[in-house]
Structure 1
Amino acid sequence: MNVDIGNALASVASPGVSREALDRLDEQVADAHDRIERGMANGDHGYEALNLPQRTDPDAIRSAVEPVSDAEALITIGIGGSSLGAATIVDALDSVERGSMESDGTETVFLDNVDPEWVTAHLDRLPLENTAINVVSRSGTTAETLANFLVVREAFESATIDWTERTIVTTGESGPLRDLADRHDLPSLKVPDGVPGRFSALSAVGMVAAAVCGHDLDALLEGAAAEAETLSGSLFECPAYAYGATTYALDARGAGMNAMVPYAESLETYSEWFAQLWAESLGKDDLGQTPLRALGVTDQHSQLQLYRAGPRDKVVTFVSPRETADRSIPATDVAELAYLGDASLGDLLAAEFEATEASLAAAGRPTVRVEIDRVDEYELGGLLYGMEAACVLAGELYGVNTFEQPAVEWAKKATRGLLGGVSESDSDGEFAEADAVAEKTELRIER
């Protein structure tokens, strides 16, 4: 990926970062890079994610999915990092292939919510006899994932379909899912050690779905590996570090929100992936930048007013592919629209992007441009890796533990307690977190 931080400079935007401040910050980046390199070399928890381009075995993934390679549909059951990376890859590549009429037609469904009507609607319409199941949970005890898996398994059994012949498991070395895979001799893959879920897109966690859909796993990893080669001790030599350092510096100057705006429909899910990566990794100790999700050009008509004229508390990140498929706009005899007849949808998209970027700069609002050559496996691998490295670098600059998520764990324990689960860590066997739910302050206004 390539990064342009020119519109985030203090000479353009407020808040903005001066060149002098970037030079000073670059010294901190060099120190942070040394820590990151040591963590990668030692295989330390979290930093191990940046080794995935070299550690992930695409042959093992392809072998595991071979029994369901003819699936017409794939249900991936996971939540958060166990789902968003896979959805980002598949949604991006499937969208592009549908546009070029090259898709193998595998429909993908990601059960990452436990809304009963939504889950039931999917199960009722899918051709279960030709549907594969991909269940992902490191612990094998994630409540939402296991609940949905039990529901899906029951649906297969009710349709007299042998779910064991259609299921792939990705989990840790031990736990209920590992026991299930061993008991039924299911194809299984291991969640990599030392890699938090939100950083696991470039492992079996994120790549099983891509493999079932026939995408090029090698190219994904090659693109990520090429991005890894750019990591260096200076933000002026490394696009990922330039992004992480600049957004950190803007946050320190008041831009506490980061609107991720891809100008490609195929990258809409990528914004969701980024939001988890940024929020869960950096939101610690009253620090961190709040990620916002938008889509160009759609949200020019719904959010741009706020970004240009609202509080000066945001940086807008544009992600744009340089090359896209195109389609001409038919000529029209309406005089006011005649100019469109000489253009294409691609021309219009590019013009809208450049106009929006310039509009924000004219209003003195900071933006960062992230460019990839095109939406394909190689470039997508580089984009995902680059943003992960940017996040790790930002975490080092904030001085937070990028790889933990205690607030998430608290809510998980409260949920289990409300459902009657038993804690193995508390002497009384109950989840104390669940008690806080009953202590909620209420001020109801009812009709």
Structure 2
Amino acid sequence: MYVDIGNALDAEPRLTRPALDRLDERVADAHGRIERGRTDAEHGYAALNLPDTADPDAVREAVSRFDDPAAVLTVGIGGSALGAATLAEALGAGLDHHVLDNVDPAAVRALLDTLPLADTVVHVVSRSGTTAETLANFLVVREAMDRAGVDWTERTLVTTGAEGNLRDLADRHDLPALDVPAGVPGRFSALSTVALPVAAIAGADLEALLAGARAEADRLAGSLFESPAYAYGAACYALERRGAGINCVMPYAESLECFAEWFAQLWAESLGKDAVGQTPARALGATDQHSQLQLYRAGPRDKLVTLVRPRERPDVPIPETELDGLAYLGGGSLGDLLDAEFRATEASLAAANCPNVRIEVDRLDERGVGELVYGLEAACVLYGELAGVETFTQPAVEWGKRAARGLLGGGDVDEADAVGEKRRLVID
């Protein structure tokens, strides 16, 4: 992974090279804490050990009974779904992958009405085995399979904890089951049993994926000037402290659109605590040059724009044309055009003094995706250390879960009482 933070310097908000040099002393201390956490496999820090602790053979064994399915359906929410969606979109060329990560009745019904259920693999993911949205959706999927005359036990794979309803279900019906990794929060689990099964079904090289992640792990060092991941995390932290409270992640590859969603959860849920943290925004190049770029370049100076792309990609030639005004396009390629759009956006932001960072990998193959996912996770952990937040907890999320459970009759929950205290000013 390559990170260029040059355009993040001397823009607005203003981050200088001397300021980065001073921050580098704190990066060294943070790196020491991260390494101690990895050595002891502490909760959260264990995620940075996945390149060495993940077991590709166990994943392949779990999916071996599913021979070239027509579709794969991941049933999960948050980190239990976004990692799989990211890997499937980036690596699963030709794989018909779907995600049920919401409980919108219309959307669930529409999806189930179109899926070839008899030839669909269902991967249900919940660490606790009790996640309300995930279990509700799975019950709906199971009933749809029953109605269609499909033996759901022959089409279902489970990833869950050692105990809980989902584990009991897997044991009762002899379902293939994988263990969620210990000490790894869901949003940091893309390189684990939570997401690797869909990559395995797609035929991806799991060893190459983990090797790419391991390469980035080996580059973590006590200086931001020696580690691309730390350079990005430190620059984001420093800019947020100076007023860049929004981080707009803009990949220039459609196969990274889900990656931007995954990043948004990683960044928001990990760092949004104690009144600090950057708000992630998602865009797609070159599409959003025609919409969001106007705000980034000419709006409030409260943003960092992160541009992400592969250095190499498949290409499509642009045919010659008889239209004089478009003659400059003929004989080129869509790749040339996208590259020009990328560089023009980067220059446009720099000319307007809007800080931006370039993140690149060689190719969007298994190694490149492994580098990218691991690198952003390590950047997030470093940012959390510098900001002094509990990177691996999510108390605000848990509050909402308890409130919803109470409203549904899942127990006497204090948080549910707050729902009835809503202030109202209704205009009708």
Q: Normalising by structure 2, what TM-score?
A: 0.99
Paired AA for residue 32 in structure 1: A
Q: Which residue of 1 aligns with 2:13?
A: 15
Query: 1:213: Cα distance to partner?
Result: 1.6
- 2:425 is equivalent to residue 443 of structure 1: yes
Find the aligned partners of 2:49 and 2:196 in 1 and give their Cα distance: 16
Q: Which residue of 2 aligns with 1:31?
A: 29
Q: Which residue of 1 aligns with 2:205?
A: 216
Q: Which residue of 2 aligns with 1:298?
A: 287
What do residues 162-206 of structure 1 show as CA deviations (whole Å, max 9, x unaligned)? 111111000001000011111111100000010000000000101
- 2:366 is equivalent to residue 377 of structure 1: yes
- 2:125 is equivalent to residue 136 of structure 1: yes
Query: 1:70: Cα distance to partner?
Result: 2.6
Q: Which residue of 2 aligns with 1:434?
A: 416
Find the aligned partners of 2:243 and 2:387 in 1 and give their Cα distance: 14
Q: Which residue of 2 aligns with 1:394?
A: 383
Query: 1:330: Cα distance to partner?
Result: 1.0
For 1:180-259, list aligned pairs within 5 A: 180-259=169-248
Q: Which residue of 2 aligns with 1:345?
A: 334
- 2:73 is equivalent to residue 75 of structure 1: yes
Q: Which residue of 2 aligns with 1:425?
A: none
Paired AA for residue 161 in structure 1: V
Query: 1:315: Cα distance to partner?
Result: 0.3
Which piece of structure 1 moves more, 389-398 or 324-333? 324-333
Paired AA for residue 42 in structure 2: D
Unaligned stretches of 5+ residues in structure 1 = 98-102, 423-429
Find the aligned partners of 2:318 and 2:121 in 1 and give their Cα distance: 40
What secondary structure does 2:277 align onto? coil
Query: 1:7: Cα distance to partner?
Result: 0.2
What secondary structure does 2:417 align onto? helix
For 1:35-184, list aligned pairs within 5 A: 35-94=33-92, 97=93, 103=94, 106-184=95-173
How many residues align structurally?
428
Find the aligned partners of 1:155 and 1:333 in 2 and give their Cα distance: 54
- 2:407 is equivalent to residue 407 of structure 1: no
Query: 1:16: Cα distance to partner?
Result: 2.7
Find the aligned partners of 1:28 and 1:123 in 2 and give their Cα distance: 51
What secondary structure does 1:3 align onto? strand
What secondary structure does 1:341 align onto? coil
Paired AA for residue 22 in structure 1: L
Find the aligned partners of 2:135 and 2:281 in 1 and give their Cα distance: 29
What do residues 285-331 of structure 1 show as CA deviations (whole Å, max 9, x unaligned)? 01100000000000000101100000000000000110011111111
1:317 to 298, 303, 306: 306
Q: Which residue of 1 aligns with 2:354?
A: 365
Find the aligned partners of 1:127 and 1:396 in 2 and give their Cα distance: 46
What secondary structure does 2:64 align onto? helix
Deviation above 4 Å: which 4+ runs of structure 1?
Answer: none
What do residues 229-270 of structure 1 show as CA deviations (whole Å, max 9, x unaligned)? 000000000000000000000001110000000000110000
